[in-house]
Amino acid sequence: MQILTIDVGTGTQDIFLYDSRFDLENGFKLVVPSPTMIVHRHLREATRAGDAVLLTGVTMGGGPSQWAAEDHIRAGLTVFATPDAARSFNDELEVVKSMGIQVISEDEAEELPDSVRRLELLDFDFNAVSRALGQFGASLEDLAAVAVAVFDHGNAPAGCSDRQFRFAYIDERIHAENRLSAFAYRAENIPPIMTRLEAVAQSARGTQDSLLTSTPLVVMDTAPAAVLGATFDPQVGSRKRVLIVNVGNFHTLAFRLGPSGIEGVFEHHTGLLDLPKLDSLLMALADGTLTHGDVFTDHGHGALIYNHDPLTLFDSTDPCDGSFGVVVTGPRRSLLRGSSLYPYFAVPFGDMMLTGCFGLLAAVGDVLPELGETIHASMLGAGGSGTPPWET
């Protein structure tokens, strides 16, 4: 049985092909540029060539692609975008237009001259992944599921704070189902407000590959996937209570986990954090004193405490003895180097870069219970320490 997992970040997209016949450490893997970085490169090429650009496709991650589009316009060149593609930069099309991007209909896009360079936006390109793996003889003929993780702010109503909307969604999911896999869905069950997750499903439905059209698709938010993946480091999974922080390129999200499930959470913008501030936030999350206002008024998303019993960060008076209460993962995990909290840098199955993929794989076992027994046997038998108490 094979399951293709793809964790789409800002810098990279991390790809892991699970095969139940192999130990997880022997699964095929790729770490390649993220879709938004690929679009960024193509836009730079168009700027150097002096070409007008048309952006089509679906809503995808912005960041680098948006910066390149803005640079293209500043160079005196034209950027057209169809509505769905334009929402990659902002859900409100009037805001996109204010950037200088010309939002046009699909019909108008078809009438543009051939001299306009076409760029299709999508976070999930199954055909490209299949071709890449196929170059090394890795066949996808036995796919039981595909799982993709992206970060989704959600489509906030006009006038509503994107940050508040995102954090209200996090709170709703935790109240609905207090486990990290609550942030994963079958494609047909994606909430309408999660437009980037839906765009992934739309890309899957639009592929011409018969393998994918008949294969279940699971989508998930990136940060919970990374935190869930980190729990499969045996040093982490053996602990009854733990605080895990995913330091992403744009967003930092921390979950405090214990026997009752998720005990607390905060999410902030990584660019607004330094080591002292992040240490302070983690300590306040651990001792239960962190408030929503502490994070939101600092231009983060917010914080919630569900269990006010303090989490002891060290098991002894000597934090250098190998005990820990804080676990870190994510592409900017080095922000916590030298931390006074002596964090443990998780390496599930020997590969930090695939932490999100491992979390995705575990979530597939929950969302598609018919696959769960095989998945969990692989994950807990290949270096795991048993089911963590927050996932029982």
pLDDT in tens, 163-217: 899 989 999 999 999 999 999 999 999 999 999 999 999 988 876 555 667 799 9
pLDDT of residue 205: 82
Of the listed ranges 33-37, 53-57, 379-383, the least confidently predicted one is: 379-383
Task: Give the pLDDT of residue 199.
Answer: 92
Could you tell me what percent of the chain has a pLDDT over 70?
93
Looking at residue 322, what is its pLDDT? 53
Q: What predicted TM-score, i.e. pTM, was given to this entire model?
A: 0.92
Q: What is the pLDDT of residue 384?
A: 42
For the residues 34-58, what does the mean pLDDT come to? 96
pLDDT, residue 389, reads 47
Say what the pLDDT of residue 390 is: 47
Cα radius of gyration (the chain): 21
- pLDDT digits 0-9 by tens, 94-135: 999 999 999 999 999 999 999 999 999 999 999 999 999 999
Domains of the chain: 36-121 (3.40.50), 236-345 (3.30.420)
Per-residue confidence band for 377, with pLDDT thresholds at 50, 70 and 90 = very high
Least confident piece of the model among 75-79, 83-87, 202-206, 292-296 = 202-206
- Could you tell me which residues come within 8 angstroms of residue 279 by beta carbon, excluding any fewer than 6 positions away? 336, 339, 340, 341
What pLDDT does residue 315 have? Answer: 54
Distance CA 60, CA 200 (A): 8
Percent of all residues in the chain with a pLDDT value above 90, rounded to a whole number:
80
pLDDT band per the 50, 70, 90 thresholds, residue 392: very low
Higher pLDDT, 282 or 324: 282
Q: What is the pLDDT of residues 314-365, one digit of tens each?
A: 654 454 555 678 999 999 999 999 999 999 999 999 999 999 999 999 999 9
pLDDT, the chain, mean: 91
